[in-house]
Chains A and B, each alone.
Chain A
Amino acid sequence: MKVGVCIKRVPGSDSRINVGDDAQGPDLADVGWEVNPYDSFALEEALQLQESGAASDVVVFTVCGPEGDAKIRDALAIGKRGKCGASKAVRLDDPAFAGSDAIGVARILAAAVKKEGIDMVIAGKQSIDGDSAQVPAMMAEILGWPSVCEVTDLEVDGSAIKAWRAAGSGKREVVALSLPCVITADKGLNTPRYPTLPGIMAAKRKPIEVVDAGALGLDTSTVGASAALVTVAKWSPPPARPQGRILEGDASAVVAELITLLRDEAKVL
């Protein structure tokens, strides 16, 4: 079984994102970049499948320019001593991809996954920049594969897959499916490792293949800004919160005051 892991470089979860009123987009000049945290769960799961013998190969996919290479190397560096980790990365890069919406990105990734002969795709449940949670399931639909989203436990026995997902109201569902398929990773699936020094050295020698629309056989009219159905018209900062109030006094008086305020002033109780 060949596993594909989709990763994305995103501003770190602790970054400040500043947008002014009527801004054209957030100012990302000073942010620190990271591999999207949910993608780290996806990668870790793929590597564990490799280490258990269930996966024969792990390939990392990303839609990005050369600025993404450093984070790709981080992903390629993770793995256990003596095991190879991901064997290579495929970076999907073409001027025609610029401005793609989620369906466009899904088309690009689906074409690449097909070309590489991937049997199972594991992706993060969402990337923490756009927060759309759309691309992996779209990719599955384009490929005609089943998908299970927000998986917190995965069992692979040959081509028989079991995936646990949180359904509504605290229930957990067990979904049985077969290859090929798309899985999206939620927190709780595993605990991602950090790269080790030998891993970082090894990652330097792993290939990052740059693949364009032509090599994918992708019709460029189906991707990029001109094909996008979804456009951002305007950005704004989060709405300001009203000035807060610290309640002072001895504990029991403060507690009584709080309950009264919540009931009578805020009207939330």
Chain B
Amino acid sequence: MASGILVVCEHEDGAPKKTAYELLSKARSLAAELGGDVSAVVIGSANAANLGEYGASVVYTADGSEFSSDGTGSWASALAAAIVEADPAVVLGAASVDIRSAFPRLAVRIGAGMASDCTDLFIQDGVLIARRPMYAGKAFADVSISSSVALYSVRPNSFPGAAPVGGSATVSPLSVSHSEAELASKIVGVEAPKSETIDLTEANLIVSGGRPVDSSENFDRLIRPLAEALGATVGASRAAVDAGYAPHNEQVGQTGKVVNPSLYIAAAISGAIQHLAGMRTSRVIVAINKNPEAPIFQHATYGIVGDIFEICPLLTEEAKRQGIGR
């Protein structure tokens, strides 16, 4: 019978991502209650062996250039192969673009139910329950899945990444055969970003600017230096993106990225319901807005009523002076 938890561990430049440790640590505590082992699957070439120190007893690997990302749906076959080997009851992955592409195909292929973008996983009366935001986080649903193996994608930063527990994993290479659909598509190019930054969805610290920033030059002058001083990633409101002050991939909100950082600084952002949709689960929210009635203040942990053209440079200076972000 299916038992235990299989964690899809994503990596970057050969090293497991933070989300891999977050999920392994959650998997360990769930497995302690549900029973069974924790195993990991690593797709593409990465250093997988150290995952044993974080609780994985077996690390399944699928190495090959076609697995560099899930642009073509190739991950579903690799994951299906890992599931045959590990026979888990639960499969966890981060709610990343690759998992969002792969899990639905995998769910159909193996007849599994799936819950997306979960922010909590817990056991109630012996059953695993996933709590997930719906209606852009205006409501939360507790979801249960009845199939013998169940897929959960988890919003990054939902769980702390635990320290290593010691232990070692057996590395077990998978043999993967591709479906016809996967062979019908191919990644033919990768365009690198202008600057290397952490993915907004995985960022722990974010500084976002709104429409009043007023130009891309001002984003470079006010928002980006503050982010850099704090070691944060830059975001923007839709109004700022649509005006051309910041690129699409920096938009936070309902039609942009959903972020879940420890700290979200909203600089001259009104706090429209569609913006809140993308950042309301941030642990600490700082609002800088010159209108004391701005809705963002109702969600802010700390608020400064003031002009970003004055406050942001001062914050940047102060962060540098206090040696933050170093």
Contact = CB atoms under 8 A, between A and B. Distances in A.
Interface of A: 11, 13-17, 19, 26, 37-38, 101-103, 106, 128-138, 140-142, 144-150, 152, 162, 164-178, 181, 187-188, 228-239, 241-242, 244-248, 251-252, 254-256, 258-263, 266, 268-269
A152 B144 contact: no
22 contacts: A13-B136, A13-B254, A13-B277, A17-B138, A37-B255, A132-B115, A136-B104, A137-B73, A145-B184, A148-B71, A168-B96, A169-B193, A172-B193, A174-B191, A175-B71, A187-B255, A188-B249, A230-B115, A245-B303, A247-B303, A247-B304, A266-B263
A261 B303 CA distance: 12
Contacts of B12: 168-169
Interface stretch (B53-61, B82-90, B174-182): B174-182
B284 A268 contact: yes
Contacts of A241: 285, 299, 301
A149 B97 contact: yes
A244 B69 contact: no
A72 B284 CA distance: 41
Contacts of A131: 116-117, 132-136
A129 B131 CA distance: 15
Contacts of A169: 12, 193, 196-199
Given A128-B254, A238-B133, A137 B101 contact: yes
B192 interface: yes
Contacts of A231: 143-146
Contacts of B197: 169-170
B187 A173 contact: yes
A24 to B, nearest CB: 11
B186 A176 contact: yes
B71 A145 contact: no
Contacts of A168: 10, 12, 69, 96-98, 199
Contact of A232 (B72, B142, B256, B319): B142
Given A133-B116, A146-B73, A269-B319, 15 more contacts: A134-B107, A141-B73, A142-B108, A145-B184, A147-B105, A167-B98, A167-B190, A168-B199, A170-B192, A170-B196, A173-B191, A229-B147, A235-B140, A254-B306, A268-B284
Secondary structure type dominating chain A contacts = mixed
Contacts of A268: 205, 262-263, 283-284
From A16, A134, A181, A231, name the one whose CB has the most chain B CB atoms within 10 angstroms: A134
A138 B190 contact: no
Nearest to B141: A232
B145 A230 contact: yes
Q: Which 6 A-B pairs have the closest CB atoms?
A: A170-B193, A229-B113, A177-B185, A137-B104, A174-B189, A17-B138
B255 to A, nearest CB: 4
B320 to A, nearest CB: 10
A229 B140 contact: no
Contacts of A258: 286, 302, 304, 315
A171 B144 contact: no
B100 interface: yes
B300 interface: yes
Contacts of A15: 135, 138
Given A171-B190, A251-B311, A268-B205, A230 B114 contact: yes
B318 A255 contact: yes
